[in-house]
């Protein structure tokens, strides 16, 4: 990165903080509600900000406007129904949400998943990851005031969206995963469309670089802004692109390969300083890596059944297990306690956005109002994922 991380960039907030603390700069503080109805909060997220002039003295996220009580609801539904329920948590990565549930049931039931299903799952998961990341690419740029990337990103999304629709019939909530495999095989022409979509993205990623990452104003706005310390990230259980932005090489796909991820060659992009720039940089690189995985998976696609030997009624045996997947936004884990019924006895859903956002008060302290928006945008969260 060719922009010097000047002292100035990093020191300023502390200095201001000190002045505020000593009362030298103190004008009256005012309490500002950012959200729940605010253009920058992706849904009903509320930030209670205490500001002094343009400096955020304190910030307290208020969540719960979308709480639907999934953990209670799932106790009254069978696994097939839950698939469709959890799909709606992080509505930008529906099929990724369904994955750990299927994995958890498969683990408890010791089901074999046929290789074609594993490869197909990878294709769908990674395409969904691209969809998700492109959306955040668009929204983050829009929050920084650049309006064009939104349209570019949606153009690319559309091609991939079409492939997803061919396979699953849905655009957001796919409901395509089954314990033991997939609902059905993909239709003819799916692979062509998928390849077309991801290659399109790979080709155009240079444009995105030129338009956003290479832009001097963009660098000024993001470098050194909202630095998330590595230890802090561990402490709060921050995962996904945000953790990787903070120089944490942590990717479930590499660390504990599930499905067929061990078969593919891909890199885990890792940022340097944990500022907004790094988080965004990681996000964009992951798009590229996911596109590569999709290409490899389609090229090596085995034939065979897409559903293993699964009993007609899915009843996980007694036991408990924690299963996790690398969701687009981070580690999505499910702690499944089963007492042998068709329904889970207790399903703790550990969503990535929840942990990622919980660190916000620390990161937001003593930033500028404008930086607050950049930081919120770079924390890539989905409200449904926080509130469940």
Partner 1 sequence: MNADVVREVFFWGVGAIMVIAALRVVTTQNVVHAALYLVGTLMGAAALYVLLLAEFVAWAQVLIYVGAVVVLMLFGLMLTRAPIGKANYDNSQRPLAAVVAAVLFGVMSWILIDAFSGTELELAGENAPRTQDIGAVIFSSYVWPFEIVSVLLLAALIGAVMIARRDEPEADKEVGS
Partner 2 sequence: MRDYYAQYVTIGIFAIVAAVLVVGTLQLSRLLRPSHPTAEKLTTYESGIDPIGAGWAQTSVRYYVYALLFVIFDVEAVFLFPWATVFESLGTQAFVEMVIFVGILALALLYAIKKRLLEWL
Partner 3 sequence: MPVTERVVGQQALDRVTAELGSLVGDARVNFDQIDVTCTPGNLVEVVAKLREAAGIEARFFTFLSAVDRTAFGGEERPDTERGTPLEVLVHLYSPDHATHINIHVPVDQADPRCPSITSVFGGALWAERECAEMFGIDFTDHPNLTNLYLPEDFEGNPLRKAFKLPTRMVKPWPGAKDPEEAAGGGRG
Site of interaction with partner 2 (CB under 8 A): 8, 12, 16, 25, 27-38, 41, 46, 52-55, 368
| Nearer to partner 1 among residue 11 and residue 155 (C-beta) | 11
Residue 67 contacts residue 387 (beta carbons within 8 Å) = yes
**What kind and span of H or E run contains 157?**
helix 148-168
The only residue of 3, 5, 13, 24 in contact with partner 1, by rule CB under 8 A: 24
C-alpha 135/C-alpha 286 separation (Å) is: 13
Instruction: Classify residue 226 by its DSSP letter.
Output: S
* Distance between CA atoms of residues 291 and 289, nearest Å: 5
**15, 71, 158, 206: residue in contact with partner 3 (rule CB under 8 A):** 71
Nearer to partner 2, 27 or 188 (CB): 27
Angle at 221 between CA 235 and CA 330, to 5 degrees: 35
Residue 255, contacted partner among partner 1, partner 2, partner 3, none, CB below 5-8 A by kind: partner 3
Tell me the C-alpha distance between 317 and 178, whole Å: 17
Closest to partner 2 by CB, 246 or 366 = 366
Choice between 50 and 200, CB closer to partner 3? 50
Q: Which among partner 2, partner 3, partner 1, none contacts residue 7 (Cβ within 5 to 8 A by kind)? A: partner 1
Q: Out of partner 3, partner 1, partner 2, none, which partner does residue 285 contact, by CB within 5 to 8 A per kind?
A: none
* Residue 14 makes contact with partner 1 by CB under 8 A: no
Using alpha carbons, select from 331, 382, 332, 386 the residue that is nearest to residue 136.
Answer: 382
Q: Is 67 in the site for partner 3 (CB under 8 A)?
A: yes
Rounded to the nearest 5°, which phi and psi values hold at 92? -90, -10
19 binds, among partner 3, partner 2, partner 1, none (CB under 5 to 8 A by kind): partner 1
Contact by Cβ (8 Å): 123, 297: yes
Q: What's the per-residue H, E or C state across 120-143?
A: HHHHHHHHHHHHHHHHHHHHHHHH
Restricting to residues 328-387, name those near partner 3 by CB under 8 A.
331, 333, 335, 337, 339-343, 345-346, 348, 350, 354-355, 358-359, 362, 387
Measure the CA dihedral 171/172/174/177, to 10°: 130
**Positive or negative CA dihedral for 168, 174, 175, 178?**
positive
| Cβ proximity to partner 2, 52 vs 156, nearer residue | 52
Residue numbers at the binding site for partner 1 (CB under 8 A): 6-8, 11, 19, 24-25, 27-28
Residue numbers at the binding site for partner 3 (CB under 8 A): 63-64, 67, 69, 71-73, 75-78, 81, 107, 231-232, 234-239, 248-251, 254-256, 268, 312-313, 318-322, 324, 331, 333, 335, 337, 339-343, 345-346, 348, 350, 354-355, 358-359, 362, 387
């Amino acid at each position: 990165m060719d922009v010097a991380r000047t002292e100035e960039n990093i020191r300023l907030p502390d200095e201001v903080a000190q002045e505020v603390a000593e009362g030298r700069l103190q004008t009256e503080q005012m309490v500002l509600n950012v959200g729940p109805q605010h253009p920058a909060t992706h849904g009903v997220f509320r930030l209670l900000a205490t500001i002094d002039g343009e400096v955020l003295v304190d910030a307290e996220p208020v969540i719960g406007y979308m709480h639907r009580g999934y953990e209670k609801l799932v106790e009254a539904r069978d696994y097939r129904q839950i698939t469709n329920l959890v799909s709606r948590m992080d509505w930008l990565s529906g099929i990724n949400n369904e994955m750990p549930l299927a994995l958890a049931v498969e683990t408890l039931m010791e089901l074999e998943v046929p290789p074609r299903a594993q490869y197909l799952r990878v294709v769908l998961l990674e395409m969904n990851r691209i969809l998700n990341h492109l959306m955040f690419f668009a929204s983050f740029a829009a929050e920084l005031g650049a309006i064009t990337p939104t349209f570019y990103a949606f153009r690319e999304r559309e091609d991939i969206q079409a492939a997803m629709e061919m396979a699953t019939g849905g655009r957001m909530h796919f409901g395509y995963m089954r314990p033991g495999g997939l609902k059905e095989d993909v239709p003819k022409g799916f692979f062509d469309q998928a390849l077309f979509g991801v290659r399109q993205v790979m080709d155009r990623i240079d444009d995105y670089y030129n338009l956003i990452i290479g832009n001097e104003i963009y660098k000024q706005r993001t470098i050194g802004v909202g630095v998330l310390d590595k230890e802090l990230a561990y402490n709060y259980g921050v995962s996904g692109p945000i953790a990787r932005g903070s120089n944490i090489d942590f990717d479930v796909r590499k660390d504990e390969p599930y499905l067929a991820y061990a078969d593919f060659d891909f890199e885990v992009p890792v940022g340097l300083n944990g500022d907004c720039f790094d988080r965004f940089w990681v996000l964009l690189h992951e798009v590229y890596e996911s596109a590569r995985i999709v290409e490899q998976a389609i090229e090596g696609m085995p034939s065979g059944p897409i559903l293993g030997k699964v009993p007609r009624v899915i009843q996980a045996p007694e036991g408990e297990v924690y299963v996790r997947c690398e969701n687009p936004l981070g580690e999505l884990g499910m702690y499944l306690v089963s007492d042998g019924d068709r329904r889970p006895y207790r399903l703790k859903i550990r969503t990535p956005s929840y942990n990622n956002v919980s660190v916000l008060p620390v990161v937001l302290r003593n930033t500028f109002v404008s930086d607050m928006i950049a930081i919120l945008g770079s924390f890539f969260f989905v409200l449904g994922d926080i509130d469940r």
